[in-house]
């Protein structure tokens, strides 16, 4: 089962992926961007350099997603895959950044992934004040420098997308204690992964 953990930066996706991975056998943990050797180079260009034009940025993310899907996701669909981000992030960030139509972004992502989308989404929601507090505690990458308002709009788009696409999902409150979140997410995945 291919499961994507979604949400804006600092919501705790990586922490929860690692905690959930410990509870299952034969788990593959991966991420976008950066889940392949080419993806790590693309990730560096996007997050460290951060000087790509909006459409160029979109195409780089799509290149990473195509590579990641073909080399990591599709060959392992018989396993439990926990991915830090997926096409949901890709569409939400591109839509908010460059106002590209959702339908266009969906077509591009269907092409890049050969219609291989997550079967389950764990979506982390965070309130503005908590996001602001967490962002103050870290060095921002190129995308995070776009600001809290941008990130909240991306979050809103992610929530709308999972509803629109009717992908099975759970929305969790990123401000809840780590242990409680782990139990909620684990219970949900366990019920779906049979």
Instruction: Express as a percent the part of the chain with pLDDT over 70.
Output: 96
For residue 148, the model assigns a pLDDT of 86
What is the Cα–Cα distance from 165 to 168, expressed in whole angstroms? Answer: 9
Backbone dihedral angles phi then psi of residue 155, each to the nearest 5 degrees: -60, -45
Note the pLDDT of residue 80. 97
The b-or-e profile of 183-193 (16+ CB within 10 A means b, else e) is ebbbebbeeee
CATH assignment of the domain containing 160? 3.40.50.300
Number of domains in the chain: 1
106 vs 194, higher pLDDT: 106
148-192 confidence digits (pLDDT tens): 899 999 999 999 999 999 999 999 999 999 999 999 999 999 999
Q: What is the mean pLDDT of residues 8-34?
A: 95
- Which structural domain, as residue segments, surrounds residue 71? 2-192
> pLDDT (tens digit, 9 = 90+) per residue, 77-115?
999 999 999 999 999 999 999 999 999 999 999 999 999
Q: Residue 89: which of 175, 159, 17, 38 has the closest Cα? A: 159
């Amino acid at each position: 089962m291919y499961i994507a953990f979604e949400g804006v930066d600092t919501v705790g996706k990586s922490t929860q992926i690692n905690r959930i991975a410990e509870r299952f056998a034969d788990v593959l943990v991966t991420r976008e961007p950066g889940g392949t050797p080419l993806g790590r180079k693309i990730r560096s260009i996007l997050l460290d350099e951060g000087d790509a034009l909006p459409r160029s940025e979109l195409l780089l993310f799509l290149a990473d997603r195509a590579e990641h899907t073909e080399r990591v996701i599709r060959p392992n669909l018989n396993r439990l895959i926990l991915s830090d981000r997926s096409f949901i992030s890709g569409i939400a960030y591109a839509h908010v950044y460059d106002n590209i139509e959702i339908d266009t972004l969906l077509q591009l992502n269907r092409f890049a992934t050969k219609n291989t989308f997550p079967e389950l989404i764990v979506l982390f929601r965070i309130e503005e004040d908590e996001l602001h507090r967490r962002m103050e505690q870290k060095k921002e990458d190129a995308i995070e420098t776009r600001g809290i308002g941008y990130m909240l709009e991306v979050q809103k788009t992610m929530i709308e997308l999972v509803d629109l696409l009717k992908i099975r999902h759970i929305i969790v409150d990123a401000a809840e204690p780590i242990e409680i979140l782990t139990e909620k997410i684990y219970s949900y995945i366990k019920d779906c992964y049979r």
